[in-house]
Amino acid sequence: MSAPPRAVELSTRQRRLLEQIHKRQTAPVRLVRRVGILLALADDPCLQSVAQRLGLTRVSIRLWRDRWLDGAEQVRAAEADRADDQRLLELIELALDDAPRSGKPATFAPEQIVQIVAVACEPPEKSGRPISHWTSAELADEVKKRQIVKDVSPRSVGRFLNRGRPSAAQEPLLAQRQPA
């Protein structure tokens, strides 16, 4: 015989705050989904029935139930200490936030990328380059020369420049001057 499921027990105040998040127009979809899981589990602890009702997997339901149960003690303690609603909302959102992801940290700071783009906006002649337009290789060489970065490949420079480029507009963005 298996153990009974771990129940999600919500205080009246916690439920009210969760429902407030669930109805918030500006809340991220992932947060609303996770709050919906908790509210459903508070009414019905069966993972399978909640998963079917919400169109999710039992694994997802279990993950967010367990994540909530791990962080709920902090929420309960803050509630017992008479924390204001804003603090409780922060703790609730923290408990339902994505876990840190593994991986290599970013190689370039946002400030460095902005400086690289700024150099790309300057005419190459200003840097003493005998070219009319920047190439990725020339730009990479120039930002290393200026010590904005220690090392950068032309390909990385090209990615920085392409990342923020908007797609071409279907219609002209500026009004056409009408002949007089």
pLDDT in tens, 39-96: 999 999 999 999 999 999 999 999 999 999 988 889 999 999 999 999 999 999 999 9
Domain ranges of the chain: 12-95, 110-163
Q: Residue 34 — very low, low, confident or very high, per pLDDT cuts 50/70/90?
A: very high
pLDDT of residue 101: 79
Instruction: Please give the Cα distance from 58 to 50 (Å, whole number).
Output: 8
Question: Residue 41 burial by CB count (10 A; 0-12/13-18/19+): exposed, middle or buried?
Answer: buried
The phi and psi torsions of 171 (rounded to 5 degrees) equal: -110, 155
Instruction: Please name the residue that has the structure tokens 């923020």.
Output: 164
Mean of pLDDT values over 110-119: 92
